[in-house]
Amino acid sequence: MKNKITTLAALMTLRELKGNSTLGKASRKLYAKDNNNFDNNRNSSYSPNPSLPNMPERIPNLNPNSPLIPMQNLNGENHYPFKLLPLPYLANSLEPYIDTTTMEIHHGKHVLEYVQNLNAALKDYPEYHSWSLEKLLYNVSKLPKDIQTPVINNGGGVFNHNLYFNILTKGGKSLKQGSPLSMAIDSKFGSLNNLKAELKAAGLAQFGSGWSWLVSNKNGDLSVMRTANQNTLIEKNLTPVLNIDVWEHAYYLLYQNLRKDYIDSFFKVLNWESAERNYAKYKEIDYSKL
Ligand code: MN
């Protein structure tokens, strides 16, 4: 049934795209049927969590009556029980590059499931209820054996998506010429276009599900890397600057098998100002000291 609904929503969305009519109608129907609980939890209050990378001060232009954002209140704390962070923009903001239905399902279903599974894994281990997400991921080998894999998969899923959703914005924002990140990119990759090509190649080279990353070491030296599944680079103690979700759930409704086209579109909505703020933390972020 779930597959049927998703397929139907995908077809309806594609039809709407072709017909150039109002986007998101199909996904609103899907949510009305399938996900009423999100609508009941909608609230525009927002407290930024300073321990997560680059959380915005507030959700810009949030319309509390919009049917588009599934979200819960944020408690402003980074420990068990973890919450689904709200999207920092409306779910239709990244159109036409990333479609509304994909954003709603991606955030409101896939990431919510990671949050719920992470909490379920930690439920019976109160000694870890005060640990931050980053501390759990860096110290995963110290956790009881039976929750190590659930924490890697679901905790990693939460961390990766918190970063991903926060480096995207409506219409994208350019990299400032002469900024520390811009200079580091030029020095390592020669040009911004070369970096984009490397990020794209890493995303395409990742067989199956995973992520393409721009990360920094403690000296500010940049690297492009890729990870499988929901693995993070926290265990290597690298500071994430930006990441590209190359799981099919991030693009399949609109792009089907064309991961390369989705990656090109990703750059159209990439917020380089967010990436600059993440890069600025390369010295201070040290997961080994949590
Ligand atoms: Mn994803």
| pLDDT of 71 over the 70 cut | no
pLDDT number for residue 76 = 55
Q: How far is the CA of 244 from the centre of ligand 1 (A)?
A: 9
Task: Give residue 110 CA to ligand 1 midpoint distance, Å.
Answer: 7
How many Å lie between the centroid of ligand 1 and the Cα of residue 177? 30
* Residue closest to 153 by CA, chosen among 204, 109, 116: 116
* Mean model confidence pLDDT for the chain: 80
Length of the chain, please?
290
Tokens of 77: 């704390």
Higher pLDDT, 76 or 257: 257
Q: Do domains 2-166 and 180-289 have the same CATH topology?
A: no
pLDDT in tens, 232-277: 999 999 999 999 999 999 999 999 999 999 999 999 999 999 999 9
Instruction: For residues 258 and 234, give the distance between their C-alpha atoms in angstroms, rounded to a whole number.
Output: 29
Q: pTM for the whole thing?
A: 0.76
Spans of all domains in the chain = 2-166, 180-289
Token pair in block for residue 163: 């970063």
Q: Which of 186, 168, 163 is nearest to 268 (CA)?
A: 168
d(CA 228, CA 222): 20
Q: Is the peptide bond between 81 and the residue preceding it cis, with omega within 30 degrees of 0?
A: yes
Q: Report how far ligand 1's centroid is from the alpha carbon of 248 (Å).
A: 8
Find the 180 Cα to ligand 1 centroid distance in Å. Answer: 29
pLDDT tens digits, one per residue of 166-193:
999 999 999 999 999 999 999 999 999 9
- Closest by CA to 113, choosing from 144, 150, 154, 76, is 154
Q: Which two tokens stand for residue 223?
A: 């690297």
Give 44 Cα–ligand 1 centroid separation in angstroms: 24
pLDDT at 162 over 80: yes
List the beta bridge partners of residue 214. Answer: 224, 242
CATH H-level, domain 2-166: superfamily: Fe,Mn superoxide dismutase (SOD) domain (1.10.287.990)
Query: How far is it, in rounded angstroms, from Cα 238 to Cα 163?
Result: 14
Cβ–Cβ under 8 Å, residues 62 and 53: no
Question: Could you give the 3-state DSSP secondary structure of residue 187?
Answer: helix
> DSSP character for 221?
-
Work out the average pLDDT over 26-55: 36
Q: Give pLDDT tens digits for 191-210.
A: 999 999 999 999 999 999 99
CA 241 – ligand 1 centroid, Å = 17
Mean pLDDT of 115-138: 95
Say if strands 239-245 and 222-228 run parallel, antiparallel, or are unpaired: unpaired
In terms of CATH architecture, what is 180-289?
A: 3-Layer(bab) Sandwich (3.55)
> By the 8 A CB rule, do 26 and 101 touch?
yes
Confidence of residue 74 (pLDDT cuts 50, 70, 90): very low
Whether 196 and 174 have beta carbons less than 8 Å apart is answered as: no
Q: What is the mean pLDDT of residues 61-78?
A: 40
Report how far ligand 1's centroid is from the alpha carbon of 107 (Å): 8
